[in-house]
Amino acid sequence: MRRTGIAITLATASLALGGCAALSMNGSGSGGDGAGTTAELGKPWILVDQGKATPAPSTTTGKPTVSPSISVSATPTPDPGCTKLWPRTDWRVFIPIEVTVGTGSVKIEWPTQYDSNYRVTAVPQQLISGAQPEPTWKAVAAGTGCTMTTTITGLTSGAPYIVWLDAPNTGRDVDGTRHLYSGRSGVIYPK
């Protein structure tokens, strides 16, 4: 047999993997020490001990078990007499809000969440060039009823706005970041 660079590399790999038996170079065709039984021939195998062929593991299925049940609870309302349902129309919004437009104003209503105070703003949606102005927030104290209500005045009639609601005191994570707990409306146009 003529030795080339490939043959030398294969021989080195063969010795590292357990000798000639790892590459079936013993001429028996079984890949082992020649002592394989007829039933083992043709079946896949893996090398566990030096020179001993072991059948490859077969896939077995486990027995079915009952999965633990998952319970989900809603945020408790402060008053069990609260009956108004607040549909969540946008999965990105944590606090659902209702906005009623008035003449140059908007009335905002939302369910009470935790014991947080709130802040609201109406953000203009008119396109302007350059840096956008910071929104002017209106503070709203924490309430004890089922819903919270406030009104923002001084808006331009017919101009587009989006109302933002924020509950800044809903707690913090271990790393100090504030829990996000906010709501927003779609585009509204005061009368």
pLDDT digits (tens, 9 = 90+) for 173-189: 788 887 777 889 999 99
DSSP state of 133: P
Segment 108-162, tens digit of pLDDT: 999 887 778 999 999 999 988 998 889 999 999 988 888 999 999 999 999 999 9
DSSP state of 57: P
Task: Kindly state the tokens that stand for 105.
Answer: 């104003």
HSE-CB for 103 with a 13 A CA cutoff:
0
Q: Give the Cβ contact number of residue 163 at 10 Å.
A: 22
Which one is predicted more confidently, 102 or 16?
102
CA distance 138 to 152: 8
**What are the CA-CA distances from residue 70 to residues 39, 53, 67, 75, 115 (Å)?**
49, 47, 9, 16, 27
CA distance 97 to 89: 10
CA distance 10 to 21: 13
Domains of the chain by start residue, with CATH: 5-55 (no CATH), 98-188 (2.60.40.10)
Q: What is the rounded average pLDDT of the residues 27-48?
A: 54
